[in-house]
Amino acid sequence: MPLFNKFPRLLRWIFAVMVIWLGMMTLARFVFFWSYNPPGKAFSGSAFLLGLRFDARVVCIIGLSMLILSALPFFNPIKKNTARKFWNILLPLAFLFTVFMYVADYYHFDYLHQRLNASVLNYLQDAGISGNMVWQTYPVIRILLFMVALLILARFVFGRILRHYQSIEPASKKAQIIWYICCVLLMAQCIIGKIIYKPGQFPLRWSDAYSLSDDFKANLALNPFQSFLSTLSFRNSGYDINKVKAAYPLMVDALEIQQPDTATLNYNRSFEWPDSSQRKPNIVLVICESFSAYKSSMYANPLNTTPYFKSLCDSGAFFDRCFTPAYGTARGVWATLTGIPDVENPSTASRNPNAVNQHTLINDFTGYQKYYFLGGSATWANIRGLLTNNISDLKLYEGENFHAKTVDVWGISDKNLFLESNKILKQQTTPFFAVIQTADNHRPYTIPDEDKGAFQPIQFPADSLKRFGFESNDEMNAFRYTDFCYRSFMEAAKKENYYQNTIFVFVGDHGIRYSGTLEQFPKSWTEQGLTCEHVPLLFYAPKWIQPLRIHEVCSQVDILPTLAALAKQPHVNSAFGRNLFDTIPALQFKSKNPIEHMAFVIDHDVKTIGLVGDQYYYVKNLKSGKTDLVSVTGNEQPIPGKQTDSIKNYLGRLTDAYYETAKYLLLNNKKKN
């Protein structure tokens, strides 16, 4: 083995330690599988292979740390005998800590059916009670004896390994340099977890485990270090169950819960249609990047940026006062697909491993093939975990799955995303539910060279741009380019057989804050930041829906319940949202609420929550507790008085109820098996 003889002694020692660590972690995964595998579930090689990648990351972090520390002569055990004592103490203790994490993880899953996560730190607040529960429930004495025996064994094994590699002949210096470079690169690659060679690709993340589309496989693939560290920033996420129960009666009326139960906190609303089998329209839901309402032609913006989309709105059911529950693409996608406002802070719910299990009404579209089209990578914001773990039999298409070339960091152009999606959809012979998520209306505001003939950028003076809501001509033209993409898609779709039997829905993922004055909106929309959440919402289906412009307030969370009703799909809604076409006065909607149409809004940037109604916006600052009630129909403020105080009081209580319920449902609206 001449090549192996050139391998530096220090690296041989480090890799021997890493192999032992990796072997222990692999054995622990087998123990987890044997202990918790559901009856009848087959062995999952894919989960073990993905788990090996997670384990290799931890092991390589340990190995790289050993190498860096050994670069200091005092800590190099090959060159200094005094360093041997240091490593003979540190390595057994570190190994013991690793085993302790696995033991804690094993019993944590036994107790809560969740891998070890950072929420366990909250038990330290009641350390006495928690300690007694552990003592009375688990074999603490046997575990301690096992840990002591393991420490002695680890001390012996690691000591023998180090003595062995101290005694062999050293390799040449030239060979050592080459091996050190190669091994550092190898360990760095294992820590990243993926071969990064494509724009938009991310390192290995916890959400990759949930791409296995099976909760147990995902839990099997993870290890306690990955799950614990991934949830560390969410350790304080949660809810106050007493506040949730106090809010429940208000939510029963607001959501029209059919069978209220305070003990179990039942939020289910079941819907059936006698003739449901006769109506199976296709669904195409387009989530439009940064589609801020005030920038568009539908709201009389003088720059006339979206004339084609306005023509669609004139031919469909256009809700001109739709609000996203929060600002940001990840939060918008979350609210649309789950029906729950993303009240997670400071990060997003999609990044919280504890919230990855969600019920979505898309699954209630039985007999439908599900698609999700995205021009870039779904690893962004861990959206892949949300999609593949919760939408049954989803066919996910990302940038790398298309023939079109990548144009920038967000992947292929929106026009090509639409056209390639259309090519796939036109081949379908059964009903489908497709989501298309755009991205071009975003920095760097790329207009592909291939479209610069059909799409002509235009220029406006800087003062006109600023006055009407744009920072630059690049931003304005990117907004215009979205209109070009919508036209390209709809003109292509109209040529296909599926078009006549399809309901198209377009909604912005979020709006954009504007600090100036907009002539077509009351000042409260800019002063209170409502432009951040105000987006167009269009239901377009000439066969099913008559043209109508609807001024009542609605929300992203209403989209899926509305689509289920339009398609007459039996479903159970256990989140927020309702059928928007039931809220039109002409359809004789009746509500117990003094204000019928409302949208919950949370502004994470300024730390406020509120409810937007048809007449008023109630807003509360979470830090100061200050509250306000402003008009959303004019610049005159509500006149103080008994009636105004009553409305403000009601909206205040209901706002708190929405907020507390959203925090609860983020962790308790699990998908139905």
Tokens of 326: 């929060």
pLDDT at 180: 87
| Mean pLDDT for the chain overall | 90
DSSP letters spanning 299-352: GT-TT---HHHHHHHHTSEEEEEEE-SSSSHHHHHHHHHHSS-----SS-GGG-
pLDDT for residue 638: 86
For 8, 17, 47, 115, 584, the CA distances from 169, given in Å and listed in that order, are: 9, 19, 41, 45, 85
Q: Would you tell me how many other CB atoms lie within 10 Å of the CB of residue 547? A: 12
* Stretch 139-144: mean pLDDT: 92
Predicted pLDDT of residue 65:
94
Task: Answer with the residue of higher pLDDT: 345 or 660.
Answer: 660
Lowest mean pLDDT among 192-201, 355-364, 550-559: 192-201
In a 10 Å sphere around its CB, with 0-12 CB exposed, 13-18 middle and 19+ buried, how is residue 532 labelled?
buried
Compute CA 566 distance to the chain's CA centroid, rounded to the nearest angstrom: 27
Distance between CA atoms of residues 587 and 614, nearest Å: 18
pLDDT at 38: 87
**What token pair was written down for 482?**
């979205």
Residue-level pLDDT at 154: 95
CA distance 563 to 283: 8
- Asked whether residue 289 carries a pLDDT value surpassing 50, the answer given is yes
Residue-level pLDDT at 201: 60
DSSP state of 145: H
Q: Which pLDDT tens digit goes with each residue over 34-52? A: 999 988 888 889 999 999 9
**pLDDT of the residue at 330:** 94
Q: What is the mean pLDDT of residues 413-434?
A: 97
- Residue 4 pLDDT level (bands cut at 50, 70, 90): low
Please state which of the ranges 213-222, 437-446, 559-568 shows the lowest mean pLDDT. 213-222
Task: Give the Cα separation of 488 and 539 in Å (integer).
Answer: 18
User: Per-residue pLDDT tens for 483-499?
Assistant: 999 999 999 999 999 99
| The pLDDT of residue 123 is above 80 | no
Q: Is the pLDDT of residue 261 over 90?
A: yes
Task: Write the CA distances from 602 to 191, 233, 324, 425, integer angstroms.
Answer: 36, 20, 9, 36
Long-range Cβ pairs for the range 153-161 (8 Å, 24+): 154/91, 154/92, 154/95, 154/96, 155/88, 155/92, 157/20, 158/17, 158/20, 158/87, 158/88, 158/91, 158/92, 158/95, 159/88, 161/13, 161/16, 161/17, 161/20
Q: What are the boundaries of each domain within the chain?
A: 2-234, 241-668
The CATH number of the structural domain formed by 241-668 is 3.40.720.10
pLDDT for 596: 66
Bigger pLDDT: 617 or 205? 617
Provide the pLDDT confidence category of residue 276 given band limits of 50, 70 and 90: low
